[in-house]
Amino acid sequence: MTALSIDAERLIGRIRELGEIGRDGDGRLTRLAGSDADKAGRDRFVAWLRQAGLAVAIDRVGNIFGIWASTDNADKKPILIGSHIDTVIDAGIFDGCYGVLSGLAVIEALQAAGFIPARPIAVAAFTNEEGVRYAPDMLGSLVHAGGLSTEAALAISGTDGTQLGAELARIGYAGAQEPGFLKPHAYVELHIEQGPVLEREGLRIGAVENLQGISWQRVTIDGEANHAGTTPMSMRRDAGHAAARVITFLRDEARGSNSPTVATVGCMRFEPDAINVIPSRAGFTVDLRDPDEQRLTAAEAALSGYLDELAAAEQVTITVERLARFAPVAFDRTIVELIEDAARTHGLAARRMTSGAGHDAQMIARVAPSAMIFVPSIGGISHSPRERTNDADLIAGATVLLDVVARLAAAE
C-alpha cells in the first residue's frame, strides 16, 4: 500500500464547482431541499460517486449513499462519512458540502493507495439538513436514525406549500431503499466550525466531543388591529409590541445567565403588515440552544412563564407550536481520541470542542458511535456568502478524516 494522501486540487475544485450550482441572477447561492437547484447539485454529486466506482443507493427520503464494498467485507457494517449539500438562502459554499466531498475524497485516497478495508466505507449526503424549506432540520438523518417515520417526513409541507415527498419524486430523488437500510459501524462528519473559536486560538483542528441541545418553537401573538393615529397607547392590544418584549426578554435572559445558553428570534411577521395599522397578529420563531439538558429545559420553562405573564399584561392571546426539540449529544470518546491523535500525527494543533450548531452527526449518534471534526471558519462567519476557510485548513481537515477513517476501517 502506498502512502495515504488527499487529492487537494480535486477536492478544492469540486467544492468550488458545487458552489456554483444553484446561483440566481444576482449570484446568490441557494439550494433548498427538493428544489431544482438541489436536483442539479445531487446530480453532480452522484456523477462523482459513479466516477469513483461506488455503488449509489438512495432511500425514500432522498438520502444519497455512495458505498465502497467488496465481496470480502460486504456483510459487515460500514464506516459512514457524510454531511449534506442543501443550503440556506444566500449561502456560502462550505457548510455541509465540505464534509460530503471530503468523504468522497477519503474513499478515493484509500482506493488510490491500494488500501484494503476490513469493512465497507460509505459517504452520505443527507436530505434537508438546513430545514429552511421543510421543518425540522436534519430531517434526512433523523429519519435514517428512526427518530421520525418515513411517511411523516414525506408528508411535511414546506414554507411554499409544497410537500417533501412530492418534490423528491419530481426531482427524481424519491429512492427505493427504506431509510435506515445502511446501519453504520461508526460515523464521522467533517465540517467547518461556523464559529470563531479555532481561528481565535490559532488552532487547526477541533475534535468535537458534544453538541448543543436545540429547541425550536413558533410563537403566535393575537391582539387587535386598530388605527395607528387615533388609538391611545394605553388602549392598545398591540401584538407587535408584545413580540418585541419577547425578543428583549430572551436576549436579557441569555446574556444574564452566565451560561452558554443562546436565544435567537430568526423569523418574524406582522399582520396586517401596514404602516398605519396596529398589528393584530405577530408570528415569530424562537431558537434556544444549550449543551446542558437541564439548562435548556430551564430556558424553555422561563420563556413559557414569561409568555403567560405577557399575555395577561398586554391583553393578548399567545399560542406556541413546537417545531423541533433535540437533546444535547455526547459523541463517542474513542473516535474523539482518534481525531486528536490523527491531528497530533500530522502536527496540527487541536482542541476538544462543543458544537453550537446542529448537525447530522447528532442524529446518527442515536444508532452508531459518532464524532465530528471541525476546521476554522474565518471570522466565525457561516450561513453567509462571506463564509470562508483557507484551502490549507480544508486539506488539513480532510487529511485528519482520512487518517481516522483508515484506522476505523482497518480495525476489527
> What are the pLDDT digits (tens) for 170-215?
999 999 999 999 999 999 999 999 999 999 999 999 999 999 999 9
Q: What's the pLDDT score for residue 324? A: 85
Beta strand 55-58 with 205-211 is unpaired
- pLDDT for the residue 209: 96
Position 250 scores a pLDDT of 98
Q: Count of H helices and E strands in the chain?
A: 12, 14
Q: How is the chain split into domains, by residue range?
A: 8-212+328-410, 213-326
Which residues on adjacent β-strands are paired with residue 252? none
Q: How many CB atoms are located within 10 Å of the residue 325 CB?
A: 15
What is the DSSP-derived secondary structure letter of residue 153? H
- Closest by CA to 102, choosing from 117, 127, 84, is 84
User: What's residue 101's pLDDT?
Assistant: 98
191 is in an annotated binding site: yes
160 assigned to a ligand binding site: no
The pLDDT score that the predictor gives to residue 1 is 67
Domain 213-326: which CATH number of 3.30.9.10, 3.40.109.10, 3.30.70.360, 3.40.190.10: 3.30.70.360
SS3 320: strand
- pLDDT, tens digit, for every residue of 129-139? 999 999 889 99
Report d(CA 411, CA 400) in Å as an integer: 17
CA distances in angstroms from 287 to 172, 251, 370, listed in the order given: 33, 12, 25
What value does the mean pLDDT take over residues 235-250? 98
All residues at 6 or more sequence positions from 194 whose CB lies less than 8 Å from its CB, including other chains:
95, 356, 357, 377, 380, 382, 383
Can you read off the three cell numbers belonging to residue 187? 460515523
State the cell numbers at 32.
Answer: 433548498
pLDDT digits (tens, 9 = 90+) for 268-286: 999 999 999 999 999 999 9
| 384-391 own/partner pairs: CB under 8 Å, 24+ apart | 384/90, 384/91, 384/92, 385/28, 385/29, 385/90, 385/91, 385/92, 386/92, 387/91, 387/92, 387/93, 387/94, 387/95, 387/192, 388/92, 388/94, 389/94, 389/98, 389/192, 391/8, 391/12
pLDDT of residue 48: 98
- Annotated binding residue at 9? no
95 is known to lie in a ligand binding site: yes
The fold of the 8-212+328-410 domain, in CATH, is Aminopeptidase (3.40.630)
Residue 383 in marked binding region: yes
